[in-house]
Every structure is written in C-alpha cells, then in structure tokens.
Homo-oligomer: A and B are copies of this chain.
Amino acid sequence: MDIHTGTRTRVGVVGGSGYTGLELLRRLASHPGVETVFAISRAEAGQPTPVPGLVFTAATPEEIESVAFLFLCLPHGATEPWIEAGFAAGARVIDLTADNRPESGTAREAAYGLAEWEAAAIVDARLVANPGCYPTGVLTSVKPLQEAGIIDGGIISVHAASGVTGAGRSPRRDLLFGEVTGNYKAYGLGNNHRHLREMRWGLPGELLLFVPHLLPVERGILETIVLPLKDGNDADTVKSIWKARYSGSPVVRVVDEAPSLRDVTRSDLLLMSAFDNEELPGLVTLIVALDNLGKGAAGQAIQNLNLMAGMPAEWGLQCAPS
C-alpha cells in the first residue's frame, strides 16, 4: 500500500471501454496505491487501455483473476454474474452501475457509496453501490441543510444539465454529433426520472422536483437548486454549514462565485455556491458543479476504494480541472 515499497493493491475493471470505465482506468493509472491487473471489454479485446502496458481482455466471469477490488462499469442490469464472480474470487466490489443503488428495484445489500456521508458503511462493505451522477450533486449540497434543520418544508426544485457522456457510449441516433451540436433540451419530463427516486431516498420527507437537460458538451453537470429556508437563514448560513461539513473532503469545495462547468471538467471536484434572491427572501439558489465522469462516477469510485483499502483519501483523485 506504499508507493515506495511497491506493495500495491490489486484491482480489476469490468466494462472498461465505456466513458466511465476509461475514466476510471485513467485514475487507476496514476493511483500510487494500486496495480490494475485486468480491464475486461469484449468489444475492445486486445486494444490498449489508459493503463500503460495493459490491454483489454475478453474474459467471462468464470475466468476472473484474483484481485482485492473489482470495479463494475457495465451497462445497467448486467452486474449480477460479475458480482458473484468477484465475490468468488475473494474481491470486494465497487459497482458503478445503477443496479444496486437504493430504490433501483433489483438491489443486493450494498453500502451507498456517497463517500462524504457513508464512510462508516463503505469502509467495511463487501459491495458498494456508487451513486448516480445527478443525485451526487443534489445530496451533497442539500443533505447538510436538511441535517441542520434549516429547510422550510416547501418544494426543492432541481434544474440540472449534463454533458452527453452521461448517456453512455453505445451508438444512438439522438447522441450523434449531427444531432447534439447546437441543441439543448429537457428530458425526463413528468418528474419521474430514475435518479429522482435515489434523491428522494437520500432526502426523506422532502418534496423534490427534478428536470434534467442535455447539453452539447462532452462532460460535466451543473445543477441549479432552489429551496426555501427557515427564517433567519440565508446563503451565508448555507455556506457556513457546507464548510463545516466538508472541511475534510479532498474534492467537495465551497466557492463564492457561481461555479461553471469548466471549473470542474476532467476533475473529481464538486464545487458549490449559494445565493440569496431579491424580492424572494427565504429562497436560496444553489449552484453545484461536478463532472459526471469524475465525482459523478470514477472519482467517487476512487474515493470509495481509498476508504475500503485504508489508503489516503486523496490518492488517485484529479483535483484540478482541465
């Protein structure tokens, strides 16, 4: 577990050629505490991975090699045989799909991998379900306010926008460059997006409105969240609560200016700011930025690995945008 002694933790990745898998492999490549033993992708078998010297292999669950940690970056619904195989090989599993998230319907018992909130459960978990990208921003920003008891009952509205890599790398007409460039649209209208159920689970008792939008950018999520505060609280209260809550996080940061997408792209940062509203006292607007492939996926998975393996919290994380 030490960079100088060469004793590194052995890890493997299944489904490494999608956007999430590639991003995870990039982080593992520069993580001082791990050795990436394999990266499985049937489609890309034989092709190089972002880890120097490692090529993708086309293994099946039966052939899985012994590792301490197994990351799953598969399409949703395909994890079950790999979890079995991972457990059989003695591995602990970090699942980046939706399969084992709360309210997903098909979940095994798993720790919810929101690193700043569930560290105690994650440390000892056999299976960690990495959170969805949208819920990561909403829960990280709103849970501390709920916990502090300053939310005033009404509706918490979340208008969110994501880059296209959030929709995966499988070919679809609506994700072609010729369709996406110059475009912007809302989707999941009707307040019933899958990620909303995860947000409701994480914020029991709150009324949530969630409208996601698709941006013509490769990556990044910006969430504009409006919520009512109890008397005597304002944007400064919010920022104080956040700063106290996240002083120990390597990636969650409170900023004064509204963060933009490029303040976080290609990093594992999650930046948050809060603003009062003229003529609407008591209503605060939160701006939350993260990279859907960073803190929204691969970065979070690395945080969970660090917790589970007892490694320094910041190892392998990308803390500067580019």
Contact = CB atoms under 8 A, between A and B. Distances in A.
Interface stretch (A68-76, A117-125, A210-218, A301-309): A210-218
Contact of A211 (B165, B262, B285, B320): B285
Given A157-B157, A165-B178, A185 B322 contact: no
B209 A224 contact: no
A191 interface: yes
Given A190-B275, A279-B207, A222 B155 contact: no
Contact of A175 (B163, B176, B186, B220): B176
Interface residues of A, number: 64
A50 interface: yes
A50 B155 CA distance: 39
Contacts of A183: 217, 260-262
A320 B176 contact: no
A218 B15 CA distance: 30
A276 interface: yes
Nearest to A183: B262
Contacts of A176: 164, 169, 171-172, 175-177
Contacts of A180: 177
B217 A161 contact: no
A239 interface: no
Contacts of A297: none
A130 interface: no
B320 A50 contact: yes
Nearest to A277: B191
Given A187-B258, A191-B278, 12 more contacts: A159-B159, A171-B173, A177-B177, A181-B181, A182-B219, A190-B277, A191-B285, A192-B278, A209-B285, A211-B226, A213-B224, A266-B266
